Amino acid sequence: MNVLVCNDTAEPLDSLISVLRNNSNITNVNVARNGRQAIDALHSAPVDVSVSSGAGLDFNRMLQRHIAPEIASALTRVVATQTPTVPLLVKAHQFGFNNVLQLDRNGDEVFSTLQRTLHGEESLVNHPVVKALHLTPGALTRSITFQDDNDHYITELVGVGLPDHEIAEALQLTIQMVRNRIASILRVNQLSNRTQLALLQNTNWQIPDFA
């Protein structure tokens, strides 16, 4: 198993790195200390599992947009954290992570969790809290698809917090049309609710590459 650890300063994963390096079942442990290193590592050699810290969750979500689709789709992504809180679990699920790993485990337990996650035997999707929420996995990793300019404008205004009737007034559309369009955007993009659309619109960032 080849593992890439995205090690950030906010929640360092040094102890996990040494646990992984001392485990004979793990072939290679690569460590990235910034986004560019992570992208280069993923494109230069096969990686089975990438591990990020809970603190690096938002950054890692953005990073996904800069990885070649064939690599991103084959990658198993795990969040490692001392405190797997409910918000972290839900966020990780919505950001397309496969599992959450608690950091106080020994080497064999860590390997077992990573291997079971890699083979789809253990997944965030099956966590009781996540399961009860009926959310689409990875919903907040997508880019929103728009059918026309009106869809785009409506979503921009949903993203700044306007209610439907104010969007209708601002764009000089009928309330009936605004709601039909929002329903259509939610359906086409497989989103569960309006808040997800607003959130996705506001986190639809790309990292500028100045290199």
Partner 1 sequence: MNPPQYILLSEATTVEDFVDDPVFTDVTHDGEIYTTYRIVRFTHEIRGHHDDWSHLVNVSLEFAVGIGVAYLRIRNRIVEDSRIKPQSSDSGHS
Tell me which residues touch partner 1 (CB under 8 A).
Answer: 163-164, 174-177, 179-180, 182-184, 186-187, 193-195
Residue (107 or 159) nearer to partner 1, CB: 159
Least distance to partner 1 from the beta carbon of 115, Å? 38
Instruction: Decide: 4 and 50 in contact? Cβ < 8 Å.
Output: yes
In terms of C-beta distances under 8 Å and separation of at least 24 residues, what long-range contacts does 96-105 make, across chains too?
A: 96/61, 96/64, 96/137, 96/138, 96/140, 96/141, 97/52, 97/57, 97/124, 98/123, 98/124, 99/123, 99/124, 100/124, 100/127, 101/16, 101/51, 103/13, 103/15, 103/16
Residue (47 or 191) nearer to partner 1, CB: 191
Count of positions (residues) in the chain: 211
Least distance to partner 1 from the beta carbon of 177, Å? 8
Least distance to partner 1 from the beta carbon of 77, Å? 27
Residue (13 or 197) nearer to partner 1, CB: 197
Q: How far apart are the C-alpha atoms of 78 and 118, rounded to whole Å?
A: 10
Residue (29 or 191) nearer to partner 1, CB: 191
Least distance to partner 1 from the beta carbon of 127, Å? 22
The candidate with the shortest Cα–Cα distance to 86, out of 125, 54, 130, is: 130
Least distance to partner 1 from the beta carbon of 136, Å? 14
Residue (12 or 163) nearer to partner 1, CB: 163
Q: How crowded is the C-beta side of 21, counted as CA atoms within 13 Å?
A: 10
What single-letter amino acid sits at 183? Answer: A
